[in-house]
Amino acid sequence: MEILGIDIGGSGVKGAPVDVEKGVLLAERQRISTPQPPIPDALGNVVAEVVKHFKWQGPIGCTFPGVIKAGVVYTAANIDEAWIGLNGQKLLEEKTGCLVMLLNDADAAGIAEMQFGVGKGRQGIVIMLTFGTGIGSAIFVDGRLVPNTEFGHMEIRGKDAEHRAADRVRTEKELSWEKWAERVNEFLGRMELLFSPDLFIIGGGVSKKHDKFLPLLQTRAEIVPAQLLNEAGMIGAAIAARVLAQ
């Protein structure tokens, strides 16, 4: 089964058709820069451009950097606040002319990793963390997703954790890998205190450079890089949208 997966990020919107039986992209991804400011109308138009690029007419799975419940946007930390309270799923359906499944971006990445990546077959408590513009999170208990966790907004030293330890902060503050790892370790330590996970999966754009920082991270739980890297959001969104094709 083929479904279009779209991943909305703070810096770019990317999409590609996905084989949801195998968890692989079926074409080279199309990427368009996220409009600034990323207000609903402008961002919806960009999503529509991605859909038009593939001449797509079927179901679409689409990620969003915030809490999503029944298609409605509840938070928008790294996106324009005009989205809050809006039925983003309905807006994107109007923009694209297609059925859309809208879900949290880290949840989508986690779904992909649990079905086709390093989390496949893993039981217990698995926490997926994506480090990019912010910090996304997804938690699975015996393979079942607990949606919309948004652990990146946990307060550490008076700030949201992502304002201290996102990959964006590492870049903007020109932190060495060692200094950045200290901040990430503090965040992971808090996560371990609260959830006692069996496995951490580290994803997001920075996961491509996992050899630079993963050996510096100190956790009781096993910690591994995401296998699907930046494709995870698109793949997971497409998997979630399978229900639209039934």
Query: Is pLDDT larger for residue 204 or for residue 27?
Result: 27
Amino acid 245: pLDDT: 83
- Give the CATH fold of the 122-226 domain: Nucleotidyltransferase; domain 5 (3.30.420)
| Chain mean position to CA 64 | 8
Tell me the C-alpha distance between 241 and 178, whole Å. 39
Query: Is pLDDT larger for residue 224 or for residue 10?
Result: 224
Tell me the C-alpha distance between 112 and 148, whole Å. 16
158: left (phi over 0), alpha (psi -120 to 50) or beta: left
**CATH 3.30.420.40 domain residues, the chain:** 2-107+232-245, 122-226
User: Could you read off the pLDDT of 104-139 as tens digits, one per residue?
Assistant: 999 999 999 999 999 999 999 999 999 988 999 999
Structure tokens at 133: 């513009």
Percent over 70 (pLDDT), the chain: 100
> Do 16 and 30 contact (CB within 8 A), yes or no?
yes
With residue 14 as reference, give the H or E element that holds it: strand 12-19
Q: DSSP class of residue 112?
A: H
Q: DSSP class of residue 78?
A: T
Look over the chain and give the mean of its residue pLDDT values, rounded to a whole number.
96
User: Could you read off the pLDDT of 161-210 as tens digits, one per residue?
Assistant: 999 999 999 999 999 999 999 999 999 999 999 999 999 999 988 988 99
- Give the CATH fold of the 2-107+232-245 domain: Nucleotidyltransferase; domain 5 (3.30.420)
Amino acid 233: pLDDT: 95
pLDDT at residue 246 above 80?
no
pLDDT at residue 77 above 80?
no
pLDDT at residue 242 above 80?
yes
Amino acid 10: pLDDT: 82
pTM value is 0.94
> Do 32 and 49 contact (CB within 8 A), yes or no?
yes
| Chain mean position to CA 212 | 21
